[in-house]
Amino acid sequence: MHESRWGRAGVLAAALLLLAAPAAAVELKLGYSTALSFERRLNTVVVADPKIVETSVVFGNSLVMIGRSVGATNVVLLDDEGRKIDDLQVFVAPSPAVGHPVDVVHGSRPPRIFRCYRNGCVPSSPDAWISGAGVGGR
């Protein structure tokens, strides 16, 4: 059998890149819900911070999420065999009735931009940051 010049190391590197793919982003408003459907049956749902988002599995392969408090968390979905179906990044923003937002710059490196409302702050976008040339993304 003839192996490519990348051999097994190349195949392993490609597999690691697929495993390290960024999580899908879901944006919710406080008090609102959304439903997502998946091809495989959901067996286990792990919410990193259940105070931020509440989840329910419906019909085995659909996930309903409700924004319970302003913030960000992630939700990991596993199938019957414990294999990862998805890793969702969930951002809950204040509902429109809360008032007008104010953008605040956090002094981290690089500085990040947060949209703040009366009842909390959320990142203005998952990749929002400030460069010397202005607002951008990584």
Res 136 pLDDT > 50: no
pLDDT tens digit sequence for 25-49: 888 888 888 889 889 999 999 999 9
Kindly list the domain boundaries of the chain, sorted by start residue. 23-93, 97-138
Nearest to 89 by CA among 125, 114, 37: 125
The structure tokens listed for 1 are 């059998």
Question: Region 89-102: what's the mean pLDDT?
Answer: 72
Across 100-113, b (16+ Cβ under 10 Å) vs e yields ebeeeeeeeeeebe
Say if strands 84-93 and 71-78 run parallel, antiparallel, or are unpaired: antiparallel
**What pLDDT, on a 0 to 100 scale, did the predictor assign at position 81?**
94
Q: Which residues contact 87 (CB under 8 A, 6 or more apart)?
A: 23, 24, 74, 75, 76, 77
* pLDDT value of residue 138: 36
User: Does the pLDDT value for residue 116 go beyond 70?
Assistant: no
CATH of 23-93, one of 2.60.40.1380, 2.40.160.20, 1.10.530.10, 3.40.190.10: 2.60.40.1380
pTM exceeds 0.85: no
Q: What's residue 117's pLDDT? A: 64
